Structure 1
Amino acid sequence: MADASSPVTLVILGASGDLTQRLLLPGLGTLLKAEPDLNLTLIGASNLDWPQEKWAELVTSALPGGGCPDARVRQQLGATHYVQLDVTDATQMGEFLAGLSGQVVLYFALPPAVTMKACEALAHVDLPAGLRLAIEKPFGTDLASAQHFNALLAKLVHEDQIFRVDHFLGKATVLNLLGLRFANRILEPVWNSTNIERVELISDEVLALEGRAGYYDHAGAMKDMIQSHLLLVMAMFAMEEPARLDALELRDLMVHTLRSTHLWQDDPVASSRRARYTAGTLAGRQIPSYVDEPGVDPERQTETLAEVTVEIRNSRWSGVPFRLRSGKALGDGVRGMTVVFRPVEHQPEGFTNQAARDVLTIGMSPETLALTLATNAEGSRWDLEQTSLAAKLGDSPIRPYGQILDGIIHGDPMLAVRGDVAEECWRILTPVVEAWADGRVPLDEYRAGSSGPKAWSAPQGSDS
């Protein structure tokens, strides 16, 4: 692994895109603030004929968004430039790579199809020693394409040099799962099906499409969020205890959990739901129906809200439903993990009501922790009420993309998605993809700004 003084050349392929401006450069800014001595050459590359001044302006405006001090921004400007490059042209890529020095990182901030073509071009190029490849999700469009892509990448570099990026693994709340589970004696003994009734992992967004039709209308909520982000968070939530925190141990345990994961009762129709938003109001803004958004093809039947219930068939989790849900244009914007515990085996006679379930809530945005317990009510000593113990978790000084870039730059793949992990995520959801393509699961509707379809009352896999 490289230390801060080792020279690293970070090349952002697709530097003119939204991802670079909105997430990558601000994330890098937080990393440069935390590691000001990082010896980094930053190169932006795309097929657009940009003047150097335009790239410099982008870097100057985006790095401070992550809190990078002005002096460090100016220092980085002295070690950055832009190149016009056709990433699918093997000759151009070979000439470009031959001129780079230090530890080279290629970050593919590109659409998946273009990334794959670029990697096919790299197969005909002499690659720099130790080259690292950072690949944005989605990793393929289905299981077969993911397997094909992994085989292609394996011909280029070793697996430990491939960083499949899922920024959810860089979120402080997700990383807090490791400390919460394995450093607290009070939780680990009850983290199992004996004590837990169901688990919900929800990432609902208040934002609507926001001009992302080019990508989103081909992907939809399930492929955009559940197939990648939420299944990975679930694996970290449910995995067995690691002996140490390193790339091998953590990713071995994650894939072990995913291999045990199946659709609830092996039924892709009963275990999944989908919907898309109609016109409504969000934060005082009028939101058009999804099918009326610019760039959307209504015939694709793209969902903006997806829900899938899975089960983990091992001794720890057998019989516990895990509900994974994500959608856009939802008024409540719930983002977090909810753990619902089973009732006590016996509640003493004499209480005037039945105790509600204990609930642990781990908020992802904002980052919070709350435990709701049954206690004696204030008004009547034999009434039971719910009391919540809550805390706001400290924000990480490094944003998720900064955490991910830190691992890539220093050669630590612990927060990168390994190839077999990516394939397992596709394997789990393939029956749902097929059921939806065949029209066996109806496409419901919900009003933008609401909490979802009115018909979606009780969670799947729940009797409540």
Structure 2
Amino acid sequence: MIERLVLLGATGDLTARYLLPGLAALRDRGHLEDTFQLVGVGREDWEGGEFRGWARAQLDEHGSELPAAARDAVVTAADYHRADVTDAAAMAEVVAGTGPVAAYLALPPSLFGPTVSALHSAGLAPGSSIVLEKPFGESLAEATRLNALLSEVIPEDSVFRVDHFLAMTTAQNLLGTRLANRLLEPLWNSTHIARIDIVWDETLALEGRAGYYDGVGALKDMVQNHLLQLLCLVAMEPPMSLDARDLRDRKVDVLRSIRPLSDDDVVRQTRRARYTAGRIDGASVPAYVDEHGVDPSHRTETFAEVRLQLDNWRWHDTTFRLRTGKALRRDRKEVAVHFRPVPHLPDGLRGNPRPNVLRFGLDPETVVAEMAGVGPREDALVPVTLAAELEPGELPAYGRLLLDVFNRDPALSIRGDEAEESWRVVTPVLAAWANDRVPLEEYSAGSDGPSLSPGT
């Protein structure tokens, strides 16, 4: 087990909100020993004590539900280096010592390549891992170059391209519900399923993230990675096991089967928009272009929708709709499976039953089945809803991902060819949008989006 985490970009929002609480959760559940070391690396001119004070404050704010003893243990294990992550000599000093390390790149994608090169020159101990946050590169060409560079530095099974959506309880429950229930798997195909919506709508606006978001946008931030990963879990063929090779092979099969989009397809099957001023829960929200740090000339979208088809036997006539948006009226984070209508309704049953929908809520974690049943009048159909709220997982998503890194288990990380296939899917969309083939619509903050699309 790896017992030293070198956190590059240690003073950022990702560390504060997710990585430090994830480590404290691991400590609380007995997964981190007293010998664990956290080495923070950043550009702030701090000493170790200042970093520990900052880490304690972040844990008090973002991990207050965790026991004080677990939080204290993480703080005690921490040290800090002020260093340029792209400087080989500086990185050699950071990773020096005996035993393997996990080098976690909590950095902008533009720094991945130079940082990996610096780590290569610095020399990583055998058994070390490199962890990269999404998005993996900023284009298909960059992802391909980065994969080639990583292959020179470290074995593929020691590269963790992490996506915390894969560690969410409900995302994993998608596989369990499909593959462990005879009731569902025979129906899990285009004969019975008309459309699957994968939605991450949120009331959250920019919230001070312009430095990152304005150069990325909704398509790269959510669709290219998180939502395509959920599509893989929904659409994949049953794997032989949930080991890394079997699971990731089946995910790549899904991505390869996605029908390439022509320019005309992009015009018909995608939408983009950004929010204007409005109100959310009674609070005023400025227009995206008026948010601090936003460059209006970037024409960054805060809403993206893409409809895809899969060219394979199971899903040949099912539409997959991937949608995400910021500053919307309500949070809606789910995978919604829309079944086809029944082929015939016997005479004597009154009503017009809506097609069945099976909804996997991602946040909060729920499973809801919408069906038809008979009401007080025996011949009248009424909607019936069956709902279950799932127990939270033992670990938060980032705790689970970090544990997999320390245990060298890459099953829930993204393989190199998988990352490239994901970029292949969205590259035609990015190109057509850059050429204004698809208009940049607008919607008011606090609304349902740029006008309700069919099936919303």
Question: Which range, TM-score by smaller chain?
Answer: over 0.9
Residue 318 (1) aligns with residue 344 (2): no
What's the CA shift for 1:47? 1.6
Taking the aligned partners of 1:76 and 1:171, their CA distance within structure 2 comes to 23
1:270 is paired with a residue whose SS is helix
Q: How does 1:176-325 map to 2 (within 5 A)?
A: 176-262=173-259, 267-325=265-323
Residue 46 (1) aligns with residue 48 (2): no
> What is the TM-score normalised by the length of structure 2?
0.96
Taking the aligned partners of 1:179 and 1:400, their CA distance within structure 2 comes to 17
Query: 1:351 is matched by which residue type in structure 2?
Result: L
What's the CA shift for 1:125? 2.7
Query: 1:369 is matched by which residue type in structure 2?
Result: V
Query: 1:28 is matched by which residue type in structure 2?
Result: L
Which residue number in structure 1 is paired with residue 4 of structure 2?
9
Which residue number in structure 2 is paired with residue 414 of structure 1?
411
Q: How does 1:107-146 map to 2 (within 5 A)?
A: 107-146=104-143
Taking the aligned partners of 2:181 and 2:261, their CA distance within structure 1 comes to 30
Q: Do the aligned partners of residues 163 and 221 (structure 1) sit closer, same or farther apart at CA in structure 2, a change above 3 Å counting?
A: same
Which residue number in structure 2 is paired with residue 18 of structure 1?
13
Which residue number in structure 2 is paired with residue 96 of structure 1?
94
Q: Do the aligned partners of residues 37 and 419 (structure 1) sit closer, same or farther apart at CA in structure 2, a change above 3 Å counting?
A: closer
What's the CA shift for 1:61? 3.3
- Structure 1, gaps ≥5 residues long: none
Residue 446 (1) aligns with residue 443 (2): yes
Taking the aligned partners of 1:422 and 1:452, their CA distance within structure 2 comes to 29
Taking the aligned partners of 2:383 and 2:425, their CA distance within structure 1 comes to 37
Percent of aligned pairs sharing the same letter: 46
Q: Do the aligned partners of residues 216 and 94 (structure 1) sit closer, same or farther apart at CA in structure 2, a change above 3 Å counting?
A: same
What's the CA shift for 1:343? 1.2
Taking the aligned partners of 1:78 and 1:359, their CA distance within structure 2 comes to 49
What's the CA shift for 1:102? 2.5
1:222 is paired with a residue whose SS is helix
Taking the aligned partners of 1:32 and 1:255, their CA distance within structure 2 comes to 34
Which residue number in structure 1 is paired with residue 52 of structure 2?
56
Query: 1:112 is matched by which residue type in structure 2?
Result: P
Taking the aligned partners of 1:399 and 1:257, their CA distance within structure 2 comes to 27
Superposed CA deviations along residues 302-328 of structure 1, whole A, max 9, x for unmatched, are 000000001111111111000000010
Q: Do the aligned partners of residues 263 and 373 (structure 1) sit closer, same or farther apart at CA in structure 2, a change above 3 Å counting?
A: farther
Which residue number in structure 2 is paired with residue 151 of structure 1?
148
Taking the aligned partners of 1:53 and 1:91, their CA distance within structure 2 comes to 24
What's the CA shift for 1:59? 2.7
Query: 1:153 is matched by which residue type in structure 2?
Result: L
Superposed CA deviations along residues 412-460 of structure 1, whole A, max 9, x for unmatched, are 0011111111111110111111110000000111000111012x33149
Alpha carbon RMSD of aligned pairs, Å?
A: 1.6
Which residue number in structure 2 is paired with residue 363 of structure 1?
361
Taking the aligned partners of 2:218 and 2:74, their CA distance within structure 1 comes to 37
1:337–1:361 contact (8 Å) kept in structure 2: yes
Superposed CA deviations along residues 239-296 of structure 1, whole A, max 9, x for unmatched, are 0111211111111110011100125787111110000000001122110000000111
Query: 1:111 is matched by which residue type in structure 2?
Result: P
Taking the aligned partners of 1:75 and 1:196, their CA distance within structure 2 comes to 49
1:370 is paired with a residue whose SS is strand
Taking the aligned partners of 1:36 and 1:351, their CA distance within structure 2 comes to 57
Q: Do the aligned partners of residues 52 and 96 (structure 1) sit closer, same or farther apart at CA in structure 2, a change above 3 Å counting?
A: closer
Superposed CA deviations along residues 16-64 of structure 1, whole A, max 9, x for unmatched, are 1111101111122222211255341111111211122221123323446
Which residue number in structure 2 is paired with residue 375 of structure 1?
373
Match of 1:73 among 40, 55, 71: 71
Q: Do the aligned partners of residues 75 and 218 (structure 1) sit closer, same or farther apart at CA in structure 2, a change above 3 Å counting?
A: closer
Taking the aligned partners of 1:396 and 1:184, their CA distance within structure 2 comes to 20
1:146 is paired with a residue whose SS is helix
Residue 31 (1) aligns with residue 29 (2): no
1:31–1:402 contact (8 Å) kept in structure 2: yes
Taking the aligned partners of 1:179 and 1:374, their CA distance within structure 2 comes to 25
Query: 1:268 is matched by which residue type in structure 2?
Result: V
Count of matched residue positions in the alignment of Structure 1 and Structure 2: 452
2:229 is paired with a residue whose SS is helix
Taking the aligned partners of 2:49 and 2:281, their CA distance within structure 1 comes to 37
1:342–1:357 contact (8 Å) kept in structure 2: yes
2:337–2:357 contact (8 Å) kept in structure 1: yes
1:132–1:161 contact (8 Å) kept in structure 2: yes
Taking the aligned partners of 1:74 and 1:300, their CA distance within structure 2 comes to 43
- Structure 2, gaps ≥5 residues long: none
What's the CA shift for 1:205? 1.2
Taking the aligned partners of 2:178 and 2:54, their CA distance within structure 1 comes to 41
2:261–2:428 contact (8 Å) kept in structure 1: no
Query: 2:366 is matched by which residue type in structure 1?
Result: T
Taking the aligned partners of 1:263 and 1:198, their CA distance within structure 2 comes to 18
Taking the aligned partners of 1:96 and 1:235, their CA distance within structure 2 comes to 37
